[in-house]
């Protein structure tokens, strides 16, 4: 059977529309990252590729701000990294506390249930953070082996403080898993200083690479739990005890790695290191502030309060009477600008604007603000 004619035309013309990606992900890629993907393929056990893997791990430790031995990119998206974190720690019957204040903390809870965890959830509105008192109260009611938090909630634009909560979780004998999908490489994240046990992220947001890899790091406490499980990890592909044998000195075959994706990640991480991680954090903050000030000038309101607003992802409340989906489509069709709509409780109520990685540039902010002014001003 012949392919549809529109597919044939696309293949023949090799034409894709230009886009300025300012949504919740993916973000734009530096041309250097795209060029890196065109390098010749190597085998996944080629000595030259193994050396490249070492460089990726070294640079991931720099971006995570950690010395953790078990630090590597999962061959899969950020959701695969989330599942790796939960699958490797949660055994049937384990007490798991999930702090739910958005779409992706709900996903953590769903995954933990599937691995047999005895899940308890505490809630905050979509746009609020959890306080130390909230988590203290929940753990006083019953200790948890694992506590899950989202540092940068992509669905709400909220930046959750995690350092003090990590100390609290450790005092009651538990481990803290942190979702840094929309924060790694864009906002302050100090894995070792804050004593975070497992932190996972993705390649396509603040790191400025294509989607397809999920950086993850396991601290000493998490490693000890992993290597002293009562049962085997239920997910073979994401079993970190197997993956560490491929990424570690033993170099035991596990799967055929996505070679070109790791080329891209290495180049993206090199760009982060050249800029300097603190400088990169400041750039994201500076461009976010420029955007927030511009929104205020247009009479538009951010959903998350300033004191815990996420610099890499801003949720903008849709004005009364405005068709939010029509505005997004017109931005795409007229200006080639992609922004996102709301998820879950915020569906139809907010726009989600990502200023992440290579997309976090003042010229993109000014262009989007002018486009919004013409749309709704």
Tens digits of per-residue pLDDT, 167-193? 999 999 999 999 999 999 999 999 999
Indicate if the pLDDT at residue 377 is higher than 90.
no
Give CA torsion, residues 36, 73, 106, 284, to 10 deg: -50
Among residues 156, 153, 186, which one has the least CA distance to residue 356?
186
Indicate where the chain has its CATH 3.40.640.10 domain(s). 31-273
Indicate if the pLDDT at residue 63 is higher than 80.
yes
Averaged pLDDT for residues 41-57: 96
Among residues 350, 372, 368, which one has the least CA distance to residue 359?
368
pLDDT band at 12 (very low <50, low <70, confident <90, very high): low
What's the CA gap between 299 and 375, in Å, rounded? Answer: 13
Indicate if the pLDDT at residue 165 is higher than 90.
yes
Indicate where the chain has its CATH 3.90.1150.10 domain(s). 5-28+277-376
Indicate if the pLDDT at residue 373 is higher than 90.
yes
pLDDT at 356: 98
Q: Collapsing DSSP states into helix, strand and coil, what is residue 368?
A: helix
Cis, bond preceding 256 (omega within 30 deg of 0): no
Question: CATH for 31-273?
Answer: 3.40.640.10
Sequence-ordered alpha helix ranges (H) in the chain = 5-13, 31-36, 47-64, 78-89, 103-114, 132-141, 163-171, 220-226, 240-247, 259-275, 277-297, 324-330, 362-376
pLDDT at 8: 67
pLDDT band at 376 (very low <50, low <70, confident <90, very high): confident
pLDDT at 170: 98
pLDDT band at 3 (very low <50, low <70, confident <90, very high): low
Indicate if the pLDDT at residue 5 is higher than 70.
no
Tens digits of per-residue pLDDT, 136-154? 999 999 999 999 999 999 9
Tens digits of per-residue pLDDT, 319-356? 999 999 999 999 999 999 999 999 999 999 999 999 99
Residue owning tokens 């309060």? 305
Q: How far is CA 85 from CA 179, 191, 221, 355, in A?
A: 9, 15, 13, 26
**Number of Cβ within a 10 Å radius of residue 232:** 10
Return the CATH fold of 5-28+277-376: 3.90.1150
- Which residues are CB-contacts of 198 (< 8 A; sequence separation ≥ 6)? 85, 88, 89, 175, 176, 177, 178, 216, 217, 218, 219, 222
Averaged pLDDT for residues 187-208: 98
pLDDT at 1: 57
Locate 281 and state its tokens: 């954090």
pLDDT at 72: 98
pLDDT at 57: 98
pLDDT band at 372 (very low <50, low <70, confident <90, very high): very high
Polymer length in residues for the chain: 377
pLDDT at 111: 98
Indicate if the pLDDT at residue 10 is higher than 90.
no
Average pLDDT over the chain reads 96
Averaged pLDDT for residues 283-311: 98
Q: How far is CA 101 from CA 107, 163, 233, in A?
A: 11, 18, 28
């Amino acid at each position: 059977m012949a392919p549809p004619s529109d597919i044939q035309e696309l293949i023949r013309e090799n034409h894709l529309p230009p886009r300025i990606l300012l949504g919740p992900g993916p973000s734009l890629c530096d041309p250097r990252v795209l060029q890196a993907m065109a390098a010749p393929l190597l085998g996944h056990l080629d000595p030259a590729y193994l050396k490249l893997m070492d460089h990726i791990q070294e640079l991931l430790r720099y971006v995570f701000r950690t010395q953790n031995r078990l630090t590597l990119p999962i061959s899969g998206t950020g959701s695969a990294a989330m599942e790796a974190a939960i699958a490797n720690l949660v055994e049937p019957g384990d007490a798991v506390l999930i702090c739910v204040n958005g779409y992706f903390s709900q996903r953590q809870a769903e995954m933990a249930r599937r691995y047999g965890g005895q899940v308890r959830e505490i809630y905050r509105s979509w746009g609020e953070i959890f306080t130390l008192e909230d988590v203290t109260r929940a753990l006083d009611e019953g200790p948890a082996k694992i506590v899950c938090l989202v540092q940068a909630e992509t669905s709400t634009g909220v930046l959750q403080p995690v350092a003090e909560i990590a100390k609290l979780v450790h005092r009651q004998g538990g481990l803290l898993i942190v979702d840094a999908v929309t924060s790694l490489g864009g906002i302050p994240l100090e894995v070792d200083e804050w004593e975070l046990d497992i932190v996972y992220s993705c390649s396509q947001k603040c790191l400025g690479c294509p989607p397809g890899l999920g950086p993850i790091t396991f601290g000493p406490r998490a490693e000890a739990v992993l290597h002293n499980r009562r049962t085997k990890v239920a997910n073979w592909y994401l079993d970190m005890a197997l993956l560490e044998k491929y990424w570690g000195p033993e170099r035991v075959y596990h799967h055929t790695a996505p070679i070109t994706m790791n080329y891209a990640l290495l180049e993206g991480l090199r760009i982060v290191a050249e800029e300097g991680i603190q400088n990169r954090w400041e750039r994201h903050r500076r461009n976010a502030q420029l955007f927030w000030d511009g929104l205020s000038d247009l009479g538009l309101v951010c959903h998350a309060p300033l004191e815990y607003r996420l610099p890499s992802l801003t949720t903008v409340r849709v004005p009364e009477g405005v068709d939010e989906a029509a505005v997004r489509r017109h931005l795409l069709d007229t200006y080639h600008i992609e922004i996102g709509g709301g998820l879950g409780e915020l569906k139809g109520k907010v726009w989600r604007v990502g200023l992440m990685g290579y997309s976090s540039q003042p010229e993109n902010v000014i262009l989007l603000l002018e486009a919004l002014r013409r749309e709704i001003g």
